[in-house]
Chains A and B, each alone.
Chain A
Amino acid sequence: MNWQNATSKAIIHLHVNGETQEVVVRNADTLLSTLREKLGLTGAKRSCENGDCGACTVLINGEPSHSCLSLAVEVVNLPITTIEGLLDSPVRTAFIDKWAIQCGFCTPGFIVNGHALLTNHPNAKEEIVEEWLQSNICRCTGYQEIKDAVNSLIVENDDSINKTHPRLSK
């Protein structure tokens, strides 16, 4: 690897939503800005850019990840799924059914995270749901409906869950 001939830009291949896309990036570009500004995938939202809000969540290798906290060059060769790749996700439908949307800004991040949660833990207990959903903030504070939407898809749903506010419970 000869660093002296390298530059601060790169032509990379990103595997997004099952398709391989060639894109020219600055090494300094985050995955979030690359998705939004280079690939036209604006579902992941830009908000805090600090890992605090979850509005930019995408799946990297199946795991929820803040796309504002990855460089695009870090994730070449890894499968990336954005909200645009989850049109068939039952979580999306559950959000509509349970009225889990107000202004909608946080919704893509919550759906992507909720999709990964239910894929990894179809029988998730309340503790796991809480832990995962705490990664996302809803400024419209629709936490209860969001939790209802996720819980409605949990196999063997238990009525005792879903009683507390995901971000403010101790």
Chain B
Amino acid sequence: MELVDVWNVLAVGLVRGGLYAQMALMLALVLGVMSIISMINGELYMIGAYVSYFAFTLFGLNPILSIACAAVATFLVGALIERGPLSMMRRRAGEDWYLNTFLLTVGLSFFLKNAAMLLWKPTYRGIRWYWEGTVSIGSIGISIDRLVALGIAALTIVALQLFLRNTRLGRAIRAVSQDERGAMLNGININTIYTISFGLACMLGGIAGGSMLSILPASPYMGTTPNNYAWLVVMLAGLGNISGAVVGGFIIGIVESVAFQFFGEGWPNVISFIILIIVLVIKPSGIFGTSVKGVWEQ
């Protein structure tokens, strides 16, 4: 393998990794704060892609604004889903609400996919590029779009971490994830924190969908694969470890890119899942598994 190929493989792997990391983060955040298993991650990613598509092509907004639209829209959709069906379920189901919400999100996922199918038909809606052209870094050329997508993923991840660590609201989110009663007794409205956290998680998916639009076009079922990857990465990293999820996302991205280079199409998936199985057999709690619940602690 030539050196050029190595860099190429790495570049492709990092871009994929950014997507997986964002998707895994989405899952880990909801799991860490609300202890629920959400199956609609992929659908928020899909909605993000559509919103950016329409913002960019129909309304002619610039790329950054188009992606920002996806962020805002998916935050709102997430907050509405939490305020509506999820919180209703929480109030009614009492202790059993974890399993019930899991089933509910599975149902919502079907609903959203089919709604997209009805509204927008199964055609792929993609764009050729946000920014035309490639940049050459050393000996390799990488399209600006890929570079920007990776940059946005990195920025989003860092911003989320800074937000959780250093702001009043971020601390409240971490407090709820670690001890709900303690949080409530300190004046934190847990329902509000749930809504905001769920919205933020959905926003991560939306940003991923929007920023990858020229690479992966919008279609009703586009979310299924990223959702599977979110799961794969989170299980690999270990539940309850957000930094682990980010690292795991990039590792899987690179592994797949390497696998593709060596074995060709079809294999990246297989190899990722083989790795997952091996890791779970050796260390069932995942590579970075922790026992204490929390979101993004030192």
Are both chains from one complex?
Answer: no
Q: Which residues of A contact B (CB under 8 A)?
A: none
